[in-house]
Chains A and B, each alone.
Chain A
């Protein structure tokens, strides 16, 4: 076994005095899609942000490509080629689509820019048609595509996606999941995906983790988790399919 691309070990993180992560262990291997599922407030988004040191892990360690990044400043973590399409998308609302993508390319070689633009506009053609429109005027689905594209502009080694299907039309969600699979299979992009839509996420992912109240309670391959009675009862049956 080679060492994982991202290794999270015993991470505890706090919001004020509230412990949001209570000792999380999680691996993402090179080339995988790994998903983390769990209910609202279980700590999914916190874990994503903790990888970027915001909030910082108060205990435990996070390593990326073998290097300890637990205490590295947030913007320098981006320079290591970890990119995130965060919770709530966080498009720069008064910047154009093009400027948002330029911001995504902050850590990347200027020489790549044209090629990377082409790549994301092929992936999501609608963005290419709206390059000069302000980010804040896009629909929710378009904003999500922009958030993912902005993350891709840095040519990430690891892409963190926080609930890309939240609040957008099922058709668009499908398109986004298809794009994630394509990026993984064709470009060998490693993806760490947080989702409430457990069914789609587990079908897409190679491996998955279940988080409950800041602790990992289950892990396994996507298929194993899909078939596990606990997961079925808590996240699938009666839920959206």
Chain B
């Protein structure tokens, strides 16, 4: 029982990170109907920017951890958002009118470029960050097993929760959110009523990348290392999460993320860690056979 509880905590933490990345996939898919395969690498770039920002802040003497954390959050979100924006401008927008596969191929190219670029400028090895957030709480202390909730886990889950609430509010209540939903439902009609579609798509990439940056920071803090390849694995998992939850659905992305995190963690805990990815993807396949549109996705409605 204690062991189970511990794995539940670990799984939700990991799932939160996947969920934050999955939102970027699902938003972009909702609006322009493409899978942004470079999104996982944007997450990786976010992790590196956060690492560099931490080290730079320490170098200039900002050592108070809460202050440093807050500044890193701002810096990484802003710079990573810029990456997301630039990727759309360079690699996707010029292809908007061409055949459907073109931006997809371009996205895979972008993913390779980002990985190689980081590998060249940062090296191929894993880059560590000293543990900044120590401590935690022991929830249950039986003789056999102590259930611990570390402070970093609290921060990851809380940050994710706050961002999800803020983001859902943005989509549901603000003008930008309404424009985004209009673009998602009917791009052509949105432009007819005067929505600047290009600008709305740019902002979508910007926001998606900023959320991925937060996921990158959380990953860095939680695991203490980043390397140029983490974007690929996390990207594929987050994409799976988005599909599992129902691609195009925001709560679906979050739910899918948590589920993938839980599946992976429980499989590693009770079976074999080598096959955790096989488990996650097998469940995806099973779900898609019985629920082709994902858990919270809606069936493709015929347009009248």
Contact status of A79 and B192, CB under 8 A, knowing A95-B181, A95-B185: no
Residue-by-residue, is B115-155 near A (CB-CB < 8 Å gives 1, otherwise 0)? 00000000000000000000000000000000000000000
Interface residue total, chain A, C-beta cutoff 8 A:
25
Asked whether A164 is an interface residue with its Cβ less than 8 Å from the other chain, the reply is no
Contact status of A93 and B191, CB under 8 A, knowing A75-B196, A88-B304, A103-B178: no
A109 to chain B, nearest CB (A): 13
Residue-by-residue, is A29-73 near B (CB-CB < 8 Å gives 1, otherwise 0)? 000000000000000000000001010000000000000000000
Instruction: Name, among A102, A106, A107, A150, the residue most crowded by chain B CB atoms within 10 Å (CB to CB).
Output: A106
Complex CA–CA separation, A84 to B192 (angstroms): 7
Complex CA–CA separation, A76 to B197 (angstroms): 11
A117 to chain B, nearest CB (A): 16
Binding site for A on B (CB under 8 A): 178-179, 181-182, 185-186, 188-197, 301, 303-304
A90 to chain B, nearest CB (A): 4
Would you mind naming 11 contact pairs between A and B with Cβ atoms under 8 Å apart?
A52-B191, A54-B188, A54-B191, A74-B192, A88-B303, A92-B185, A92-B186, A93-B301, A106-B193, A106-B194, A150-B193
Asked whether A86 is an interface residue with its Cβ less than 8 Å from the other chain, the reply is yes
Asked whether A168 is an interface residue with its Cβ less than 8 Å from the other chain, the reply is no
Question: Which of A54, A78, A93 is close to B194, meaning CB atoms less than 8 Å apart?
Answer: A78
New A-B pairs, 16, CB < 8 Å, besides A75-B194, A75-B196, A95-B182:
A54-B191, A74-B197, A75-B195, A79-B194, A86-B189, A90-B186, A92-B182, A95-B181, A95-B185, A102-B178, A103-B179, A103-B193, A103-B195, A106-B179, A154-B193, A154-B194
A56 to chain B, nearest CB (A): 11
Q: Are B191 and A103 within 8 A (Cβ)? A: no
State the majority secondary structure of interface residues on B: helix
B240 to chain A, nearest CB (A): 25
A residues 95-116 touching B (CB-CB < 8 Å):
95, 99, 102-104, 106-107
Question: Which of B186, B195, B303, B304 is close to A106, meaning CB atoms less than 8 Å apart?
Answer: B195
B17 to chain A, nearest CB (A): 29
Interface contact tally, CB-CB below 8 A: 61
A residues 126-154 touching B (CB-CB < 8 Å):
136, 150, 154
Contact status of A107 and B185, CB under 8 A, knowing A88-B304, A93-B301, A102-B178: no
Asked whether A94 is an interface residue with its Cβ less than 8 Å from the other chain, the reply is yes
Chain A residues closer than 8 Å to B193, beta-carbon distance: 78, 83, 103-104, 106-107, 150, 154
Question: Which of B188, B190, B301, B304 is close to A103, meaning CB atoms less than 8 Å apart?
Answer: B190
Binding site for B on A (CB under 8 A): 52, 54, 74-76, 78-79, 83-84, 86, 88, 90, 92-95, 99, 102-104, 106-107, 136, 150, 154
Contact status of A92 and B181, CB under 8 A, knowing A75-B196, A78-B193, A78-B194: yes
Complex CA–CA separation, A154 to B194 (angstroms): 9
Q: Are B194 and A94 within 8 A (Cβ)? A: no
Contact status of A93 and B192, CB under 8 A, knowing A75-B197, A102-B178: no
Q: Are B182 and A103 within 8 A (Cβ)? A: yes
Chain A residues closer than 8 Å to B303, beta-carbon distance: 88
Chain B minimum-CB-distance residue to A105: B193
Q: Are B188 and A94 within 8 A (Cβ)? A: no
Complex CA–CA separation, A78 to B188 (angstroms): 12
Chain B minimum-CB-distance residue to A88: B304
Chain B residues closer than 8 Å to A136, beta-carbon distance: 301
Chain A residues closer than 8 Å to B178, beta-carbon distance: 95, 99, 102-103
Complex CA–CA separation, A104 to B193 (angstroms): 6
Question: Which of A79, A90, A94, A102 is close to B189, meaning CB atoms less than 8 Å apart?
Answer: A90
Complex CA–CA separation, A90 to B178 (angstroms): 16
Q: Are A86 and B192 within 8 A (Cβ)? A: yes
Complex CA–CA separation, A122 to B304 (angstroms): 28
Chain A minimum-CB-distance residue to B172: A99
